[in-house]
Amino acid sequence: MPTRVARRRWRPLYPLSLRVLLGLHRRGPADPTHADDASGGLWRTARTPDGAVTLRVAVDGGEVDATAWGRGAEWVLEHLPAWLGDGDDISGFRPTPPLLRDAARRVNGPRVGRTGLVMEALIPAILEQKVTGGESHRSFGRLVRRYGDPAPGPERGLVVVPSADTWRSIPSWDWHRAGVGPQRASTCVRAAALAPRLEQVVVSPERADAVLRAVPGVGAWTSAEVRARALGDADAVSVGDAHVPRLITYALTGRVSDSDDDMLEALLPYVGHRFRVQRALEMAGVRAPRFGPRYAPHDFRAM
């Protein structure tokens, strides 16, 4: 049976950056669900409610040119404007500190897209709990390559993330080989078992937060990571992050602090846009001063 192919051109009413909007979902440079091409296009796979899909998207003359392959082709093209920030209300965001104002200007806002795909955001967020980005990206890449499905379409090497049933079936030794400790592995399996219910929380950030945090092993940080991506929650705050409080507090106040309380106080003028603040600073490359040794990665495979 031939692979389903669909195409859409869409003209947004605002400047957008594919790197900012779609890059939020990329788990490191070797993420097997993403790729770039020489002509400036971005490739991305997903497991939609209708099935697997590969999406290529580029900006051409102010229009978004998108082609999709697979059973989820029509679904992803229907939802593409939302993925690219359509419907995100940026009107109340008025950055005043110079670092934030400059960062927001450089990344066009930034807008926050919403995919509507909860499990796609949740499993990688769990893998990122209390480890470095490099560690979690290696774990994610290894598990997706081993248990995911070859992506539909012409781009070779891309993989679609495993289904919830497949995440549940991964044996303990393969979690271990991928460098995932027992606690995070158990949380992933529990979340996968609840996938049908979790995928329904896209109705509101408040509902999503309550349901997500009812899953043992999912706390405020993980919930925020999921809400920002799946629901486009521009106010999702990364409480409990190892680096974000310092970045935000420094950019907004000039003080260096790793305290969540100090971060939340600095963000008070931006309630409703607190993740937007974080994303603007991160994508513009703002850095806070660092003191002391770097975090030492764990190697759970040696335990």
Q: Which pLDDT tens digit goes with each residue over 89-134?
A: 999 999 999 999 999 999 988 999 999 999 999 999 999 999 999 9
Going by pLDDT thresholds of 50, 70 and 90, the confidence category of residue 298 is low
Q: Give yes or no for a contact between 183 and 208, defined as CB atoms under 8 angstroms apart.
A: no
Strand boundaries in the chain, DSSP class E? 5-10, 34-36, 42-48, 51-60, 63-69, 149-150, 159-160
The pLDDT of residue 295 is 45
DSSP summary character for residue 268: G
Backbone angles phi, psi at 154, to 5 degrees: -85, -15
Q: Give yes or no for a contact between 270 and 152, defined as CB atoms under 8 angstroms apart.
A: no
Q: Residue 292 pLDDT more than 60?
A: no
Q: Give yes or no for a contact between 58 and 39, defined as CB atoms under 8 angstroms apart.
A: yes
The pLDDT of residue 229 is 98
pLDDT digits (tens, 9 = 90+) for 12-33: 999 999 999 999 999 999 999 9
Backbone angles phi, psi at 18, to 5 degrees: -60, -35
The pLDDT of residue 149 is 98
CB atoms within 10 A of CB 108: 17
Q: Give yes or no for a contact between 161 and 143, defined as CB atoms under 8 angstroms apart.
A: no
Q: Give yes or no for a contact between 280 and 96, defined as CB atoms under 8 angstroms apart.
A: no
Q: pTM for the whole thing?
A: 0.93
Rounded to an integer, what distance in angstroms lies between the CA atom of residue 218 and that of residue 210? 10
Give the sign of the dihedral formed by CA 250, CA 133, CA 185, CA 274: positive
DSSP H helical segments within 162-243, as ranges?
A: 164-169, 172-177, 182-193, 195-198, 205-213, 220-230
Angle made by CA atoms 273, 276, 277, in degrees to the nearest 5: 90
Going by pLDDT thresholds of 50, 70 and 90, the confidence category of residue 2 is confident
